[in-house]
C-alpha cells in the first residue's frame, strides 16, 4: 500500500487507485475541496514533492492552466489516483481560511483498488 508523506504534517497509507484528497482528509488533515472533487475550485491543490502522481486528466489540465503562479509540480489532489508512494505539500487548509465553515463537500469515492487510469 503506498505511503503518502505530507510535508510538515506526517504520513499515511493509501490504497492504490484511491483519490489522493480522500487519503489526505482521512488522515485527519483539513485539506480544502470546495467543489467536491470536480476539478473546478483548485482548493485541493498540492505540490508533488517526490513520486509519480500519474497522468493528468484533461479537466485538471484545463483548470490549472487558468491559475497563475503555480509550481510546475502542482496537481489537484481530487484528480490524482494514487499509484505509488508520494511526498506532497498540502497548500490549502481549512484552518488557514477562517471565513470558511467547512472544507467543502466530500468528493465521492472511486473504487478502491480499482483500475488505474491509463498512463
Ligand atoms: S478542484 Fe475542487 S476539490 Fe479538487
Q: What is the pLDDT of residues 10-20, one digit of tens each?
A: 999 999 999 99
- d(C-alpha 19, C-alpha 9), whole Å: 19
Q: Which atom of ligand 1 is nearest to the CA of 42?
A: 1
Query: Measured in angstroms, how far is the CA atom of residue 33 from the centroid of ligand 1?
Result: 5
Instruction: Just give the CATH number of 3-95.
Output: 3.10.20.30
- d(C-alpha 98, C-alpha 111), whole Å: 33
- d(C-alpha 5, C-alpha 100), whole Å: 26
pLDDT at 119 over 70: no
Query: Measured in angstroms, how far is the CA atom of residue 76 from the centroid of ligand 1?
Result: 6
pLDDT at res. 91: 97
pLDDT at res. 110: 84
Task: Give the model confidence (pLDDT) of 28-77 as tens digits.
Answer: 999 999 999 999 999 999 999 999 999 999 999 999 999 999 999 999 99
- Compute the average pLDDT of residues 78-105: 96
pLDDT at res. 112: 57
Please list every protein residue whose CB sits less than 6 Å from any atom of ligand 1: 33-35, 37-44, 76, 78
Query: Measured in angstroms, how far is the CA atom of residue 71 from the centroid of ligand 1?
Result: 17
Amino acid at each position: 500500500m503506498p505511503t503518502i508523506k505530507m510535508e510538515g504534517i506526517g504520513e499515511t497509507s493509501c490504497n492504490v487507485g484511491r483519490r489522493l484528497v480522500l487519503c489526505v482528509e482521512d488522515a485527519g488533515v483539513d485539506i480544502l475541496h470546495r467543489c467536491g472533487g470536480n476539478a473546478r475550485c483548485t482548493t485541493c491543490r498540492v505540490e508533488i514533492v517526490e513520486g509519480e502522481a500519474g497522468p493528468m486528466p484533461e479537466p485538471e489540465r484545463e483548470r490549472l492552466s487558468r491559475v497563475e503562479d503555480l509550481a510546475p509540480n502542482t496537481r489537484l489532489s481530487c484528480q490524482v489516483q494514487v499509484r505509488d508512494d508520494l511526498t506532497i505539500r498540502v497548500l490549502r487548509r481549512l484552518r488557514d481560511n477562517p471565513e470558511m465553515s467547512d472544507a467543502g463537500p466530500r468528493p465521492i469515492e472511486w473504487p478502491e483498488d480499482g483500475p488505474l487510469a491509463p498512463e
